[in-house]
Amino acid sequence: MISPLTLSPSRLLPALAFALMLLGGSAASATAKTSPPAVPMDVTFEQSLESDGPPLIGTAGVLFRFTPPEELDVKQVHLAGSFNSWASNDDGVIRGSRFAMRRADSGVWYKLIDLPEARFVYQYVVETTDGAMIWVADPNVDERDGSNSVGQLSGLPTLPGEAPAVLPEKSPVLQLSAGKVWAAPGQPNEINARVQAPEPGMTLHLRVTTPWGRELYSASEPVGGAENVLPVPGFPAIGGYVAHVALTSPSGETLAIERIILSVTDEPEDDLRYGFFASYPDEPADYTAKADMLADLYINAVEFYDYFPAHGNYAPRREAYPFEPFGIAINGLDVKAKIEACQRKGILALAYIAAYAASESVYRKIPDPMTDAQGRAKIFNGEIMTESRADAEGKQKWFWLMNISEGSRWRSYIMPELERALRPGDGDIAAFDGFEIDTYGDNADARFYADGSRYDGEPLAEVLQGFVADVTEMTRRTKEHGLVSFNSVNEFGVENMYGVTDFLFLEIWRWHAPMLSDLVDICFHHRAARNQRVILKLYPADMDPPRSTWPTLALTRILGATMTGGGSLMVVGEPDEATGSMHALNSLFYPDHQPLSAASEAILKAYYAHDAMLYGYTHGREVNNWDAYVPVEGCVTRSFLAPRRRALCLQMLNLGNQPKWSEVPGSVSVKKDFPVSMVLPDGVRPTAVFYASPDSPQYQLPVELPFELQNGQVLFTVPELAVYGTVIVQY
């Protein structure tokens, strides 16, 4: 199930370039005196569009081609399939132009999409002039799944003028996975190596190195079958270790070389990469495979969104139940199986809860609400309002806002309930590892009111701080590696959570922070107080124009921005082991998640691997922000000091002439061979300079750069920067 870290011989830079081509742009070098013009789409694909045919695959996308039946009076043709939620149709009707195909001069209708999952299904939808929507299977593809056409990336013909695409899939010969996504210092781990078509005499050779190539351990094991386990000893220091595994034939010929990152930490919250679950169906699933897919992306904690029967009832008690008040059916056994599969892999399972919400059945038992200044109970129905206003306007009441202040009836009820969610009582079916505590978008100056509370009139953020601090203390007391976070929407109350939560979690909206530099600064600024991990959450639906899933280049730039600031980005979860695809958040309503394209998943894996490898250098409790001014034209930079590692780190984000994260630029300006100088702290004398970038396999492992010392500065030349890269100065 686990695919290799390196994508060679595929290239991430060509993937970015092709993603741009889908948008009508081009990739260019910043060092060139003139940039080549963008190639018009109808010229690039002129040969392909002379006639219809099966889908064609390119470096990072698929071209669909279709000619409607002659007897139809065609107004428009749409593409609908498993890769775009069947174009969000309403009883067969597709609305909006985002899924519309274009008509070539030849009469062929066509559409380019990012690489979908390895196996996808689809139909063409012909909209006629009289308003009918006629769903048609692809007449050029024989394989069917019911009435749908089936596509297999591995079997698609290639776009003219392109080399056959090498997809970021599993190695056909050797696949690796770590036994646990993280191990404590000194704790052994293991690597599971799956060998296709094993033969007697084959050997697996393991080398574990630092990111800089210094070997720490090596061993060889004979291949004992398709499934093999390679023991890995414990390492005393926290950090990311590179495991290289080579498969050789009986004659000594190297058949495959793959590598993964092994994480060692005693505080997993410092090296967190966050995922989610949001659907709990009543159908069979391979839960081990789901956990493996999360681990393959180096995700080590997941949020379980809306898994409970009611806000206020958070301990998993029943095997099946509806979610109040919406009636959504939830399979409690699915929740249990996902929790336990994650925990076996070392992935921490965090329960999503609301800081101050109760469903009506719970509220009626404990009527202790939060109020406005006039003492009127407050509710939430998509917005926060008083119960009396909702009644007067005939609006729904989803949840009641509760009195979370110290000494309240609600506080006395909810704290034992939360502890039970971590340490189940009689009849409970599962136990979580901590909590993600949500709020509903309060204003920065919001005040807390509740009848009889001694905190009446105090800032809401301060009252929340006291509640969250109690939850964190209880969680740490109950679970050895229990974690608590608080969703600081648009930075609400984030300063109150410094040190109170285990990591800082911020949901960011475009109107609040529209620039990539804003994302860099949010991560860099808020981690400074206590060197806590900062996780950002953004949504494709908040792009301009809105998207249902991340365009590959947009995702790359946002990942680069958060990591430049020393943070991380929550992107995916809900692994679908049947199709091999991960699903990405679309909006704040997690269940509307959408499949992530194969190209975007390859980028995400490369960035998360880079992050895991440089734990202890670019992020971690012992890594300090370093307010050094390092100018790089067209880039945002931030610097970090890792004294225990005797290293300085420079993070660089290439803005590419488009500073807004919500917009996708028309071109990538790849910077080549550009000089950088860094002022050194007093007494620091560099011994080596390294450069790494997840944007190209050539630099996924750090490469050493020549450098000079001049007037208290270190000077070096960065060979290539597409979007994001890291310089490590060792001293």
What is the full DSSP assignment across 687-701?
SEEEEE-TTSGGGSS
The answer, yes or no, to whether residue 24 has pLDDT greater than 50, is: no
Domain ranges of the chain: 46-155, 183-264, 268-613, 624-730
pLDDT at residue number 293: 97
pLDDT tens, residue by residue, 199-236: 999 999 999 999 999 999 999 999 999 999 999 999 99
Report the C-alpha gap between 558 and 723 in whole angstroms. 10
Cβ atoms of residues 259 and 176 within 8 Å: yes
If 0-12 CB within 10 Å is exposed, 13-18 middle and 19+ buried, where does residue 612 land?
A: buried
Residues contacting residue 575 through CB under 8 Å, at least 6 positions apart: 289, 290, 293, 294, 581, 582, 583
DSSP state letter for 492: T
Hey, what CATH class is 46-155 in?
mainly beta
- What kind of fold does domain 183-264 have according to CATH? Immunoglobulin-like (2.60.40)
Cβ atoms of residues 288 and 312 within 8 Å: no
Name the phi and psi angles at 287, rounded to 5. -70, -30
Cβ atoms of residues 376 and 388 within 8 Å: yes
Alpha helices in 404-551 (DSSP H): 409-422, 460-478, 516-527
CATH of domain 624-730: 2.60.40.1180
The DSSP bridge partners found for residue 277 are 304
Report the C-alpha gap between 298 and 182 in whole angstroms. 9
The model carries a pTM of 0.80
Report the C-alpha gap between 306 and 314 in whole angstroms. 10
Residue 334 neighbours by CB distance under 10 Å: 21
Kindly state the tokens that stand for 580.
């091999």
Kindly state the tokens that stand for 446.
């919001």
Of 37-41, 686-690, 693-697, which one has max mean pLDDT? Answer: 686-690
268-613 and 183-264 share a CATH fold? no
Cβ atoms of residues 398 and 381 within 8 Å: yes
Least confident of 84-88, 180-184, 414-418: 84-88
Residue 162 neighbours by CB distance under 10 Å: 14
Report the C-alpha gap between 98 and 86 in whole angstroms. 12
Closest-CA residue to 23 (of 38, 43, 45)? 38
Cβ atoms of residues 209 and 215 within 8 Å: yes
- What kind of fold does domain 268-613 have according to CATH? TIM Barrel (3.20.20)
What is the three-class DSSP state of 70? coil
pLDDT tens, residue by residue, 224-269: 999 999 999 999 999 999 999 999 999 999 899 999 999 999 999 9
Least confident of 89-93, 208-212, 254-258, 495-499: 89-93
pLDDT tens, residue by residue, 392-450: 999 999 999 999 999 999 999 999 999 999 997 778 999 999 999 999 989 889 999 99
> Could you tell me the strand order of the sheet in which 688-692 lies?
624-626, 635-642, 647-654, 724-730, 688-692, 703-705
The answer, yes or no, to whether residue 8 has pLDDT greater than 60, is: no
524-557 burial: b if 16+ Cβ within 10 Å, else e? bebbeeebbbbbbbbbbbbbeeebbbbbbbbbbb
Q: What is the mean pLDDT of residues 57-78?
A: 88
